[in-house]
């Protein structure tokens, strides 16, 4: 009987982890596509996740929209802010090297986070969601909202893969990521690609921020609290690799949940850091990435 | 008001120490460290716990804080030795966050998010608060001078030259027969020791530390100080720290003058102004107010200028 309970608990954590990982994949893809093209770790993913979460909150609670259209709002607002902030603030730094740009992105993320704090204050806010009873099967439980979030995350991930594989802009993006000089010779406009990637990447961060918030609540630190997990997902999978981000997100998501078996829940964010260290020590390029040194 | 100014001068001194420490790691050895607040926290916690829980003398606590921060720095540097700078940025930032998570959760040791209060200060009981402030200012100022002199000697020593060579071209330095890993680890450990020293001094000054004091924002302040002053330049590091503390504190006075702001809005506006200032400084003067002096034994200064 006891083994049965432990097994059920294990399966429940595995299930939770797989769902959390699928959602984590969305902002991790955002981070990794930005890295693939612009070649710097963009810490502003944190504030854009927060901005998306709050844009979705305004659409959902203030304007009364259902979750799906609110998610679109989250994507668009975070994407536009990402486009504008990259164009006005981060772009001029790129000539000075990746580390200046990375520091600039930390300053940017704190600045934007405080704009959100200025407008909305520090208190926790929850989305307006219909109350639904959890579904149960074989001793496991799962909320209908979680399933909806999962479906959204899967659909978005599939859309990104299709975008990269089949559209002209997606192929151009991969070309620039692969070899910017060659892509330039072939007539791909690097500037346009940089803008597209800022919009899409930060839009995904915002969408991811809202998905993370749907489960619990949001506040100006929502994005920042997730940043270690997001970076862990991207690094574990291999920075710059989109399939890697998905694999990495699943590894980190499941790892964070399974850590609950042995660690207190407060250490979840440390799991992401441990995952980064472990992967970088054993295989610095990540599971599916390129050279890291 | 006097006490306030002295307190500001003490925090300027602590920022200067941190900027000097960072200058060894980043300015001289060229290693990215976005987690310097983590080493600061290690120093603060080690010294506070040793003096409070084991009754160690304050000087021993501060020394242990610096040494353990150095050891942690050496480990971080060894573990990350093979990594490219962009990965190092992520790992060091994650390191500082992890330190904060540990400090928040190991309640038996660190009292969790409530923090540790009642950290002893040197002769705090024997002196009036005003005298204690003044004494501490002298202490911090003396340590800044010592650290400055040491690090400046270091910069001009063969050791410092090797560090700069590694920073500018690691492969060339390795080909010249320098064991670059050992140099990098030593520089990281030494810089971390100075960061830990600043942390320990901070705890004994304010008598209170808590995980919320060790946010990435503090890392940004120090980066801002170093950038404002000039990366790779020790005088610039001290000057930048003074500029940053003055700026931070002036926002404290200016922001309440704006009518109709709530407390949270005021705090948000301050943090916004500070991060915006960093962006502006980075944009306008990435080499800082006092750029690193070009030293060349043969070429005269003007020729150097013509070359660059």
Q: What is the pLDDT of residue B292?
A: 64
Cα-Cα-Cα-Cα torsion B35, B41, B42, B44, nearest 10 degrees, comes to 150
pLDDT tens, position by position, for chain A (293 residues)?
677 888 888 899 999 999 999 999 999 999 999 999 998 999 999 999 999 999 999 999 999 999 999 999 999 999 999 999 999 999 988 887 788 888 899 999 999 999 999 999 999 999 988 878 888 877 788 888 888 999 999 999 999 999 999 998 888 888 888 888 888 888 888 889 999 999 999 999 999 999 999 988 999 999 988 998 999 999 999 888 899 999 999 999 999 999 988 888 878 778 888 888 888 888 877 788 764 44
Top residue of B38, B77, B78, B90 to mutate, by most chain A CBs within 10 Å, is B90
> Which residue has tokens 């610039």?
B236
Top residue of B35, B76, B84, B94 to mutate, by most chain A CBs within 10 Å, is B94
The secondary element (H helix, E strand) that includes residue B208 is strand B208-209
Q: Which residue has the higher pLDDT, A22 or B2?
A: A22
Distance CA A90, CA A42 (A): 9
Cα-Cα-Cα-Cα torsion A53, A57, A63, A66, nearest 10 degrees, comes to 80
Where in chain A are the domains? 2-282
User: Could you tell me the two tokens for A211?
Assistant: 């998905």
User: Could you tell me the two tokens for B151?
Assistant: 């690090």
Top residue of B77, B93, B260 to mutate, by most chain A CBs within 10 Å, is B93
Q: Which residues pair with A141 in a beta bridge?
A: A136
Q: What chain A residue is nearest to B93 in terms of C-alpha separation?
A: A228
Q: What is the pLDDT of residue B306?
A: 42
CATH code for the domain defined by A2-282: 1.10.3470
Q: Distance (Å) from the C-alpha of residue A151 to the closest C-alpha of chain B?
A: 30
Coil/strand/helix, residue B184: helix
Tell me the pLDDT band of B303, cut-offs 50, 70 and 90: very low
Q: Closest by alpha carbon to A21, among A248, A265, A217?
A: A248
Q: Which residues pair with B117 in a beta bridge?
A: B208
> Which residue has tokens 């704009």?
A115
The packing angle between helices A67-85 and A144-166, to 10°, is 50
CB contact under 8 A, A99 and B89: yes
- What does the mean pLDDT of chain B come to? 86
The pTM for the full model equals: 0.87
The secondary element (H helix, E strand) that includes residue A7 is helix A2-38
Tell me the pLDDT band of B287, cut-offs 50, 70 and 90: low
Distance CA B203, CA B62 (A): 10
Q: Distance (Å) from the C-alpha of residue A220 to the closest C-alpha of chain B?
A: 10
Q: What is the pLDDT of residue A247?
A: 93
Distance CA B205, CA B11 (A): 10
- Degrees (nearest 5) of the Cα angle A172, A173, A176? 85
Q: For B94-130, how does the pLDDT look when each residue is reduced to its tens digit (9 = 90+)?
A: 899 899 989 988 888 888 888 898 898 888 878 888 8
Distance CA A216, CA A141 (A): 17
Q: Name, in order, each residue with C-beta under 8 angstroms of A219's C-beta and a sequence gap of 6 or more.
A: A122, A123, A124, A125
Residue B299 clears pLDDT 60, i.e. is over it: no
- The count of CB pairs under 8 A between chains A and B is 127
The CA-atom distances, in angstroms, between A206 and each of A223, B93, B272 are: 9, 22, 20
**B264 touching A, CB under 8 A?**
yes
Q: Which residue has the higher pLDDT, B64 or B83?
A: B64
The CA-atom distances, in angstroms, between A232 and each of A38, A291, B23, B266, B289 are: 19, 17, 28, 33, 36
Q: Distance (Å) from the C-alpha of residue A124 to the closest C-alpha of chain B?
A: 14
CB contact under 8 A, A114 and B272: yes
Tell me the pLDDT band of B308, cut-offs 50, 70 and 90: very low
Where in chain B are the domains? 2-214
Distance CA B132, CA B111 (A): 26
User: Could you tell me the two tokens for A172?
Assistant: 């151009």
Q: For B258-282, how does the pLDDT look when each residue is reduced to its tens digit (9 = 90+)?
A: 888 888 898 899 889 988 988 888 8
């Amino acid at each position: 009987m006891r083994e049965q309970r432990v097994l059920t608990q294990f399966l429940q954590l595995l299930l939770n982890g797989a769902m959390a990982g699928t959602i984590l994949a969305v902002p991790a893809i955002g981070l990794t596509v930005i890295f693939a093209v612009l070649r710097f770790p963009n810490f502003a993913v944190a504030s854009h996740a927060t901005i998306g979460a709050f844009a979705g909150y305004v659409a959902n609670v203030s304007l009364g929209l259902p979750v799906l259209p609110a998610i679109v709002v989250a994507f668009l607002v975070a994407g536009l802010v990402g486009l504008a902030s990259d164009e006005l603030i981060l772009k001029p730094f790129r000539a000075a090297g990746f580390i200046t740009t990375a520091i600039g992105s930390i300053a940017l993320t704190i600045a934007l986070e405080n704009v959100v704090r200025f407008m909305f204050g520090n208190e926790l806010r929850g989305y307006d969601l219909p109350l639904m009873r959890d579904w149960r099967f074989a001793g496991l439980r799962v909320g209908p909202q979680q399933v909806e979030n999962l479906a959204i995350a899967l659909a978005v991930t599939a859309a990104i893969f299709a975008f990269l594989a089949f559209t002209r802009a997606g192929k151009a993006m991969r070309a620039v990521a692969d070899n910017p000089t060659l892509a330039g010779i072939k007539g791909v406009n690097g500037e346009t690609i940089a803008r597209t990637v800022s919009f899409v990447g930060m839009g995904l961060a915002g969408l991811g921020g809202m998905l993370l918030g749907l489960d619990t609540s949001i506040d100006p630190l929502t994005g920042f609290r997730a940043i270690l997990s997001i970076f862990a997902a991207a690094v574990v999978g291999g920075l710059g690799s989109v399939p890697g981000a998905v694999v990495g997100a699943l590894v980190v998501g499941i790892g964070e949940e399974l850590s609950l078996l042995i660690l207190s829940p407060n250490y979840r964010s440390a799991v992401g850091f441990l995952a980064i260290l472990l992967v970088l020590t054993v295989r610095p390029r990540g599971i599916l990435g390129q050279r890291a040194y | 008001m006097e006490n306030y100014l002295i307190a500001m001068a003490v925090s300027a001194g602590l920022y200067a120490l941190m900027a000097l420490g960072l200058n060894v790691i980043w300015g001289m050895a060229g290693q990215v460290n976005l987690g310097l607040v983590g080493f600061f926290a290690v120093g603060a916690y080690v010294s506070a716990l040793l003096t409070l829980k084991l009754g160690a003398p304050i000087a021993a606590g501060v020394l242990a804080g610096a040494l353990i921060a150095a050891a942690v720095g050496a480990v971080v540097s060894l573990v990350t030795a093979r990594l490219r700078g962009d990965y190092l940025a992520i790992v060091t930032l994650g390191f500082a966050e992890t330190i904060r998570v540990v400090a928040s959760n190991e309640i038996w040791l660190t009292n969790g998010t409530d923090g540790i209060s009642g950290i002893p200060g040197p002769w705090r009981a024997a002196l009036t608060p005003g005298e204690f402030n003044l004494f501490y200012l002298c202490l911090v100022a003396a340590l800044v001078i010592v650290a400055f002199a040491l690090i400046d000697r270091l910069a001009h020593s063969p050791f410092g030259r090797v560090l700069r060579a590694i920073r500018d071209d690691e492969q060339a330095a390795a080909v010249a027969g320098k064991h670059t890993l050992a140099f990098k680890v030593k520089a990281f450990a030494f810089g971390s020791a100075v960061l830990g020293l600043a942390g320990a001094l901070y705890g004994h000054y304010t008598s209170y530390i808590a995980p919320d004091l060790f946010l990435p924002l503090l890392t940004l302040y120090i980066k801002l100080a170093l950038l404002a002053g000039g990366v790779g330049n020790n005088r610039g590091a001290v000057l930048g720290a003074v500029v940053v503390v003055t700026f931070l504190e002036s926002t404290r006075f200016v922001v309440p003058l704006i009518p109709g702001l709530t407390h949270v809005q005021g705090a948000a506006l301050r943090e916004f102004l500070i991060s915006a200032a960093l962006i502006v400084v980075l944009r306008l003067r990435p080499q800082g107010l006092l750029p690193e002096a070009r030293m060349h034994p043969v070429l005269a200064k003007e020729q150097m200028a013509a070359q660059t």
